[in-house]
Structure 1
Amino acid sequence: MIELGVLFGLLAAAVLALIFVLLRRGNGSTENADGLLVEQARRLQAHNDRVSYNAASVRSSSPTTTDHYRP
């Protein structure tokens, strides 16, 4: 019974520590524009990847058409 109390106590301490760390970080803005530029570049790369590798461009057909290569 004591072991169970110790386990729950350690779990509660870990949860409180995580809450404290997350609240301390806050949602502040970046101090410089480097982070915003990196985020913008990643967003544009993700958009380009979605356009380049979608079903129509990879298979030259829409995903709703039948598969003509099926035996």
Structure 2
Amino acid sequence: MQALGILFAIMIALAVVLIVRITRRGTSGAETAEGLRLEQDRRVQAHQDRMSYNAMLMHGTPPTISDSYRP
């Protein structure tokens, strides 16, 4: 019975440490104007890539489960 209590205490302590670690990490984005511009350019490029290379545009059909197998 005591071992079960120790196990729960360790799990709770681990959860608290992870929560504190994640909340303190924050979003460490760019701090300069140049860095912000680069981040924005990459975000726009990623959006354009997602729109340009989707299954409907590339193959003319919606994606299916069998798309992973192509002879």
The bucket for the TM-score relative to the shorter chain is: 0.5 to 0.7
1:49 aligned onto 2:45: no
RMSD: 2.7
The TM-score with structure 2 as length reference comes to 0.55
Where in structure 2 are the equivalents of 1:17-56 lying within 5 Å? 17-26=17-26, 30-33=30-33, 34=35, 36-54=36-54, 55=56
Q: Which has the higher helix share?
A: 2
Larger Rg: 1
Flag structure 1 segments of 5+ consecutive residues without an equivalent: 64-71
Identity of aligned residues (%): 45
How many equivalent pairs are there? Answer: 60
Flag structure 2 segments of 5+ consecutive residues without an equivalent: 63-71
The TM-score with structure 1 as length reference comes to 0.55
